[in-house]
Structure 1
Amino acid sequence: MPPKLAFLKPVSNVLLSLPIAIFLTNTFYSPAWVTGPSMSPTLSTRADTSSPSSDKRTQRDLVLLSHFNAHNEASRGEIISFISPLDPERVLVKRVVGVEGDLLLEGRRGRVVEVPKGYVWVEGDGRRWSRDSREFGPVSRGLITGRVAGILYPFNRMGKVEEYEGWRRNLVSRVEERRLRMRFE
């Protein structure tokens, strides 16, 4: 390449790399900021008290979402992102607490719910602040956009998401499930 056109090489590299980066981001992984307290304490939206910065990004976790086959692979206990059934413009992040066929005790109304085929039941770890399946019902697997693969930021929390056992509280035990099914059949 002539010296006058040497500056075009980095530009052409960027232009060639951009479509590949967009494809990979949309198909496999993408970063996402967590907002709101509904997934606290697992995913934090509180200010980092060790940081003097007032930058709003220090108050939230940046997570890595895996998009590859997310709607089929989402299983009990995983944190997922999905399109809100109430507002298709919003993407929510919640934990899967039930999959098709599971019976759950729905705490707000005190009723037993069976998760239908092709759906998951999601709840926020911070139940007090969470708008979730207890409000809008089961979520179609077709609305699932990703699974939380880990935390990217803040750096002191970087890595795999810590297990939160509280999600099991509404899942009906197999013994109790048999008893309930016999009662309702």
Structure 2
Amino acid sequence: MPRLHYLIRSAQPHLQIFPAQHSSNDPRNQYDGNNNANNTDGPRGRSRYSFGRNAALDTFLFTIQGLALFIVIREHVLDIKWISGASMSPYLNKGYNIDNIDSEMVLVDVTYATKLHLERGMVVVFPSLRGSSSRTEPSKLSVKRIIALPGDIVTTRPPKSGEGGQKTQIVPWNHVWVEGDATDPDLSFDSNTYGPISMGLIKGQVMCVLRPKWRTLKWWEWENENDPVESGGDYGKSQRIRVRKDAVTVYDPNIN
């Protein structure tokens, strides 16, 4: 409670006591009690304004930094994709025609080192291609398995009845041959249609399934016939039979 100062004025026949009147210029009046709470021009008001402004700036900068970090991670480290369709079933989207599960969430390794060391059996992501023209659709992604590397000779998948015979093709330098795991040719639009794809198109390698059920993809077991799941069973075996590894030596055409 503010102190009251009194002036005593003599009056006959008795004394009267009056509250003291402070001038508006009196420092005690300027910084006393609740008057200072509403005074935004005072030191405390300026301090509160400065604190609020700094907090808002810190929040903004933190958000920008977090967003930048998120973008860097997605572009150069790890990314999350949804896989839909039946071209990789039953290895991916195993329940596509059974449980009506039409998509799975997967984690993709998009590091530069992975793109430099591609191997047979890897499940990779790349822009979808249009027909045999090899024109890409950047807005859409395809997920396929690498079954042949540069220098391998591939015999194309057996065609449906009445559609000509099988062909052989050498996988050129800096290219890979990709196919889906689906046994039905109609379910997979892959290198049997558009040929080998450039390694430069590959965005990353699928590491694991996150949803609906966690599962690590052991791509290195694709050639291990003792593992029926990772090797693709009988169809995976038929894919490997169609590939002659390191059949020819290929060179960089840009080097004379």
Q: TM-score range by the shorter chain?
A: 0.7 to 0.9
Q: Distance in 1 between matches of 2:62 and 2:181?
A: 44
Report if the CA contact (8 A) 2:152-2:245 is conserved: no
Give 1:77-96 correspondences, 5 Å limit.
Answer: 77-86=121-130, 87-89=135-137, 90-96=140-146
Q: Please list, as runs of the form range in 1=range in 2, the aligned pairs for 1:137-176 lying within 5 A after superposition.
A: 137-154=195-212, 156=213, 158-161=214-217, 163-165=230-232, 166=236, 167-172=239-244
Could you tell me how far apart the structure 2 residues matched to 1:93 and 1:72 are?
A: 18
Q: Matched residues, percent identical? A: 27
What residue number does 2:74 align with? 25
The whole-number CA distance in structure 2 between the counterparts of 1:79 and 1:20 is 26
Match of 1:53? none
- What letter matches 1:27 in structure 2? H
Residues 89 and 181, structure 2, Cα contact 8 Å, conserved in 1: yes
Name which structure has the greater RCO, CA cutoff 8 Å, separation 6+.
1
Separation in structure 2 between the aligned mates of residue 142 and residue 13 of structure 1, nearest angstrom: 35
Q: Structure 1: how far apart are the matches of 2:179 and 2:97?
A: 23
Q: Structure 1 runs of 4+ off > 3 angstroms?
A: 1-7, 9-12
The question of whether the paired residues in 2 share the 8 Å contact of 1:48 and 1:59 is answered with no
SS of the residue 2:181 aligns to: coil
Task: Tell me how far apart the structure 2 counterparts of residues 17 and 153 of structure 1 sit (CA, whole Å).
Answer: 25
CA distance, structure 1, for counterparts of residue 241 and residue 87 of structure 2: 16
Q: Which residue of 2 aligns with 1:75?
A: 119
- CA gap of 1:173–1:22, structure 2 versus 1, over 3 A, is closer
Unaligned runs of 5+ in 2: 1-46, 160-164, 219-229, 249-256
In the alignment, the residues of structure 1 paired with residue 92 and residue 231 of structure 2 have an alpha-carbon distance, to the nearest angstrom, of: 10
Contact 2:148–2:245 (CA<8 Å) still a contact in 1?
A: no
Which of 40, 62, 80 is the aligned partner of 2:105?
Answer: 62
Q: Which of 152, 173, 178 is the equivalent residue of 1:122?
A: 178
* TM-score, normalised via structure 1 length: 0.78
Q: Deviations over 1:59-101 (max 9, x none)?
A: 3111111111243222100000112332522221000000001
Native 8 Å contact 1:33 1:63 kept in 2: yes
**TM value normalised by structure 2:** 0.58
Q: Cα–Cα, structure 1 residues 10 and 47, in superposed 2: closer, same or farther, change >3 Å?
A: farther
Opposite residue 78 of structure 2, the aligned amino acid is Y
Q: CA deviation at 1:13?
A: 2.1
**Structure with the higher fraction of residues in helix conformation:** 1
| In structure 1, distance between residues paired with 2:98 and 2:105 | 13
Name the CA distance, whole Å, in 1 between partners of 2:245 and 2:88.
Answer: 24
Taking the aligned partners of 1:134 and 1:115, their CA distance within structure 2 comes to 12
Between Structure 1 and Structure 2, how many residues are aligned?
167
Whether the 8 Å contact between 2:151 and 2:245 is mirrored in structure 1 is no
> Counterpart of 2:8?
none
Structure 2 distance, partners of 1:88, 1:111, is 24
**Structure 1: 5+ residue stretches without partners:** 50-55, 179-185
Conserved? CA contact 1:123–1:130, under 8 Å: yes
- Structure 2 equivalent of residue 39 of structure 1: 88
Q: Please report the RMSD computed on the Cα atoms of aligned residues, expressed in angstroms.
A: 2.7
Letter in 1 for 2:170: E
Q: Secondary structure at the match of 2:136?
A: coil
**Using the alignment, how far apart are the partners of 1:48 and 1:111 within structure 2?**
34
